[in-house]
Structure 1
Amino acid sequence: MNESVRSTTPSVIIIGTGFGGLCMAIQLRNAGIETFTLLEKASGVGGTWRDNTYPGAACDVQSHLYSFSFEPKHDWSRKFGLQPEILDYMQHCVEKYDLAGHIQFNKEVASAVFNEATNTWTVTTTDGESQTADIIVTATGQLNQPAWPNIPGLDTFAGTTFHSARWDHNYDLSGKNVGVIGTGASAIQFVPEIVPKVGALSLFQRSAAWVLPKPDRPFYKWEQALFRKIPAWDRIYRSLIYWKNESRALAFTRFNSLLELFAWQAKRFAKHQVRDPEKFRHLIPDYKIGCKRILISNDWYSAVDQSHVELVTTGIERVVEEGLITTDGALHRLDTIILGTGFAASDFLSPMEITGRNGASLNQAWATGSEAYKGITVSGFPNLFMLYGPNTNLAHNSIVYMLESQVRYVLGCINTLSATPGTAMDVKPDRLRTFSEGVQTKLKDSVWESGCHSWYLDSDGKNTVNWPGFTFTYRKATREVNPDDYEFLQPSV
């Protein structure tokens, strides 16, 4: 390590170049800190918006709120941004804030080890190279590791198989017999796009999703001009979206009965678009609305209602060369299998191996479920800060708002460390325990604990993903760094 650099400002390695990583880098630059490096496993920035290029990929949070507060975009093409436009926005941020020189592409992190003698982290990438820094900020997100279903015989299929997050754009679906496994957020978007092209589609549904109409439309030219010419209106518009979305937190976390209005709306919406009574019956969930992610789409129900779309609710037994065999013994002959099975959202930082004080691994620390103080720091892992960590996901508002809160908190920690170069800060175990117990207590009143199995829960049924309250309370909780929450460690060399 360059000691002259260390004597002025801590060096930082940021892992990932999605919204979190870019936000962290931009705010470091704004604070006059240039001693940072972004490590990106892929060949371009964008995170989930780089990876998910399936037909119809779009955001379910309004464009003006799903963007940085400090970098408004006045010419969004529509109310809910499409994948190409969101990715273009992120690339614009890289260019405007001159981040390219700080990014190392094709650098997938394999491990990070804390050196207690020097209070530094050594990060090793899969190409065998190592780098050392005072601080690590992980910005890998929760939706970066595609979840592959554990179905016997999947590798024996003679046709083409791909995950929706790794869409094969060179493969022509025209006239093909296609099987889609999963009816979650990705399938809701790509199924309506491919239905007109395929010869037949078998939709394998384990459980139905609650689907509401999407209040989306293109912006008119005059609206874009208004946003551009009157920046205050852009801010007011964003604020109105924020508070409208924020009000829904009450329904998810405290007054679950309020969600029944949305359930009624979803059923009414489905009834108007689904003519087949058998399909309609299977498309309405049997669990409380909000227990799993509520989805929004204007063409999902009408797509499934098409005569060449078969809705299969019988479980999958195995995959064979010709297709899928369900538990009733039926063979579904297929040319293609598309996995719309989502992501391993509760496997935070996987597959990286993180080793902290006393040789403890993060996997050991999280043996009973992932947890972090304010979703950011973990006891025994000094100077390791997480963005979009445990229990910071939202079901009602924009994660970008949460990321900006976390970045400000991490920046406060970096400023604290700058005052005493070489020091490391480790959150006290009792502070982490009290915080985590408080989060789990609040989650007990939430709709996510109403009995369904969702990606919000880990393998032991613990909700390690969602924040159980308002985003403005989280912002208040992360506004300032309290030094009393941390043990400050001095290097021995």
Structure 2
Amino acid sequence: MSAPHDVVIIGAGFGGIGMAIRLIQAGFEDVVLLERAGDLGGTWRDNTYPGAACDIPSHLYSFSFERKTDWSRRFPPQHEILDYLRHCARKYGVLPRIRFGTEVTEARFDEDEGRWRIATGRGDTLSARILVSACGQLNRPVLPPVPGRESFAGASFHSARWDHGTDLDGKRIAVIGTGASAIQIVPELAGRAARLTVFQRSAPYVIDKPDRPYRGWEKALLRTVPGLHGLSRARLYAQFEARALGFIKYPRLMDLVARRFRANLRGHIDDPALRERLTPGYPMGCKRILLSGDYYPALTEPHVDLVTDPIDRITPGGVRTAGGREHQADVLVYATGFAATDFLAPMKITGRDGRELNEEWRDGAVAHLGITVSGFPNLFLLYGPYTNLGHNSIIYMLESQFRYVTGCLRAMRDAGLAWIDVRPDAQDAFGREMRERLRSTVWAAGCESWYMTADGEIVNNWPGFTFAYRRATRRPDPRHFQARIS
């Protein structure tokens, strides 16, 4: 076993890279990042499908301490976000600290020594005082439990594992799913496929996406005029933050967004029968609201079919739906989302007294402020339970968590503590508050979504304003923790 490190971070996406930067700036030099893939970037490394882009405006999608002013578009494409993360890792000295191709399989806390023992898929073991999970919520692709998947004779892959070696031109392509990835993929494939079949289980709400390239003079002004980018960032933040009122407090405000949906649908879809199939049967905002200006037009192309009949099975030649109709396909794309509520799975995390985290979370994940878990000392989660958003940039939430975790580590260093562990009563009180507040949000309005566990418990989303979360995490409260002196 190697000598113990101060901090080991699992994952090298936005959370891991940003956390490492902030810890290094705070004087914690012995920081190591373990990344299972061969490159950094997290979800922006994995999702390279055609049309991949962000649905948060560019000026909100960078760290506050490293603002990017030269985005090419109002909504950033995948490759620019990945390049930005690589830039941050190089500039702030994080890149040499990343161990690529190193997947964590297990971590066990040694209470006597106050150390985490971390086992990897490479067969080695590391030791660390502090363990930070920056795995994110959207990192484990899910394939639907449809019979016959293995029998398909053509190329098939999940949208987050795109096979760029597959020739798509002139092929019959089937896309299963109509979520955030699918609405970006479908317009791209419509321009290449001989026949494109889209299988929809439930219709999403799709509103117009006001995207366009930045003009040369706009980029020049952003680059040269002091404060202009900051003003744009602040305006967008306030505009998006106001949308939280509809999600968490006054669901009837969603009617204003629903008007945009209806206008977008009417503006692109003339066929009343198709419009009906594209109209969701659940309240606006209950599931993720999607942004696109070209999804609906793609569905009107003569060689594109929208199928709403339930899928019966996958066959060697395509997809069979209820009633026995078979839809022929040469390529099958699963745009079927992620195991978002499993959080740290499939890693085995063992805390004090042999407590296993997945067992502790069998009825739904919970963590105090979405960051610390009782019984698991010196373990910190980034983008954990109750920290996802439906209305603003997740980077703002991550930066709140960076400050909180750094504050915990500084307090431990100053007080000479071996470990800290959030008190069960503090965690339980936070969990009760979250469950109570979430019951009155639009996410609990009667639909199934990736925000929920199989039992219908919402465990992903923050039921409040992002500035309220920042205030709650401005500094760790010593009353919330128990500790052991070194």
Q: Does TM-score exceed 0.5, indicating one fold? A: yes
Aligned counterparts of 1:445 and 1:422: Cα–Cα separation in 2? 40
**Which position in structure 1 is the counterpart of 2:233?**
238
Correspondent of 1:270 among 252, 255, 265: 265
* Code of the aligned partner of 1:436: G
Equivalent residues, number: 486
**Which position in structure 2 is the counterpart of 1:414?**
409
**Which position in structure 2 is the counterpart of 1:437?**
432
Q: Deviations over 1:148-183 (max 9, x none)?
A: 111111011111100000111111111111111000
Give the alignment of 1:46-195 within 5 angstroms. 46-195=41-190
**Which position in structure 2 is the counterpart of 1:352?**
347
1:399 and 2:394 are equivalent in the alignment: yes
1:335 and 2:323 are equivalent in the alignment: no
Q: Does structure 1 conserve the Cα–Cα contact (< 8 Å) formed by 2:47 and 2:161?
A: yes
Q: Deviations over 1:77-120 (max 9, x none)?
A: 11100000000000000111121221100001101000111010
Q: Deviations over 1:263-309 (max 9, x none)?
A: 12211211121133222110111110100000000000000111111
* Code of the aligned partner of 1:229: T
**Which position in structure 2 is the counterpart of 1:426?**
421
**Which position in structure 1 is the counterpart of 2:479?**
484
**Which position in structure 2 is the counterpart of 1:258?**
253
Aligned counterparts of 2:256 and 2:425: Cα–Cα separation in 1? 41
Aligned counterparts of 1:269 and 1:258: Cα–Cα separation in 2? 18
Aligned counterparts of 2:457 and 2:240: Cα–Cα separation in 1? 25
Q: Does structure 2 conserve the Cα–Cα contact (< 8 Å) formed by 1:345 and 1:456?
A: yes
Gaps of 5+ in 1: none
**Which position in structure 1 is the counterpart of 2:19?**
24
* Code of the aligned partner of 1:278: A
**Which position in structure 2 is the counterpart of 1:447?**
442
Q: Does structure 1 conserve the Cα–Cα contact (< 8 Å) formed by 2:144 and 2:336?
A: yes
Residue 330 of structure 1: how far off its partner (Å): 0.8
Q: Does structure 1 conserve the Cα–Cα contact (< 8 Å) formed by 2:205 and 2:280?
A: yes
Residue 231 of structure 1: how far off its partner (Å): 3.1
* Code of the aligned partner of 1:149: P
Q: Secondary structure at the match of 2:306?
A: strand
Q: Deviations over 1:332-377 (max 9, x none)?
A: 1111110000111111011111000111100111121101000000
Correspondent of 1:196 among 191, 207, 212: 191
**Which position in structure 2 is the counterpart of 1:380?**
375
Aligned counterparts of 2:245 and 2:95: Cα–Cα separation in 1? 41
Q: Does structure 2 conserve the Cα–Cα contact (< 8 Å) formed by 1:134 and 1:422?
A: no
**Which position in structure 2 is the counterpart of 1:313?**
308
1:474 and 2:469 are equivalent in the alignment: yes
Q: Secondary structure at the match of 1:44?
A: coil
Aligned alpha-carbon RMSD (Å): 1.2
Aligned counterparts of 1:274 and 1:237: Cα–Cα separation in 2? 34
Q: Does structure 1 conserve the Cα–Cα contact (< 8 Å) formed by 2:2 and 2:125?
A: no
Q: Secondary structure at the match of 1:251?
A: helix
Correspondent of 1:322 among 312, 317, 321: 317
* Code of the aligned partner of 1:324: V
Q: Does structure 1 conserve the Cα–Cα contact (< 8 Å) formed by 2:420 and 2:483?
A: yes
Q: Does structure 1 conserve the Cα–Cα contact (< 8 Å) formed by 2:2 and 2:127?
A: no
Q: Secondary structure at the match of 1:185?
A: coil
**Which position in structure 2 is the counterpart of 1:205?**
200
Q: Does structure 1 conserve the Cα–Cα contact (< 8 Å) formed by 2:310 and 2:321?
A: yes
* Code of the aligned partner of 1:257: R
Residue 421 of structure 1: how far off its partner (Å): 4.1
Q: Deviations over 1:29-56 (max 9, x none)?
A: 1112111100001011100000000000
Q: Name the TM-score, length of structure 2 as normaliser.
A: 0.98
Residue 236 of structure 1: how far off its partner (Å): 1.1
Q: Name the TM-score, length of structure 1 as normaliser.
A: 0.97
Q: Deviations over 1:370-401 (max 9, x none)?
A: 01000000000000000000010000000000
Q: Does structure 1 conserve the Cα–Cα contact (< 8 Å) formed by 2:417 and 2:483?
A: no
Q: Deviations over 1:398-420 (max 9, x none)?
A: 00000000010000011111124
* Code of the aligned partner of 1:13: V
Residue 74 of structure 1: how far off its partner (Å): 1.3
Aligned counterparts of 1:338 and 1:231: Cα–Cα separation in 2? 46
Aligned counterparts of 1:52 and 1:301: Cα–Cα separation in 2? 22
Q: Secondary structure at the match of 2:420?
A: strand
* Code of the aligned partner of 1:31: A
Gaps of 5+ in 2: none
* Code of the aligned partner of 2:222: F
* Code of the aligned partner of 2:161: R
Aligned counterparts of 2:167 and 2:82: Cα–Cα separation in 1? 24
Higher mean C-alpha deviation, range 94-103 or range 463-472: 94-103
Q: Does structure 2 conserve the Cα–Cα contact (< 8 Å) formed by 1:119 and 1:422?
A: no
Q: Does structure 1 conserve the Cα–Cα contact (< 8 Å) formed by 2:2 and 2:126?
A: no
* Code of the aligned partner of 1:199: A
**Which position in structure 1 is the counterpart of 2:212?**
217
Q: Does structure 2 conserve the Cα–Cα contact (< 8 Å) formed by 1:253 and 1:446?
A: yes
Q: Secondary structure at the match of 1:171?
A: coil
Residue 422 of structure 1: how far off its partner (Å): 5.3
Q: Does structure 2 conserve the Cα–Cα contact (< 8 Å) formed by 1:39 and 1:107?
A: yes
Q: Secondary structure at the match of 2:332?
A: strand
Aligned counterparts of 2:474 and 2:485: Cα–Cα separation in 1? 26
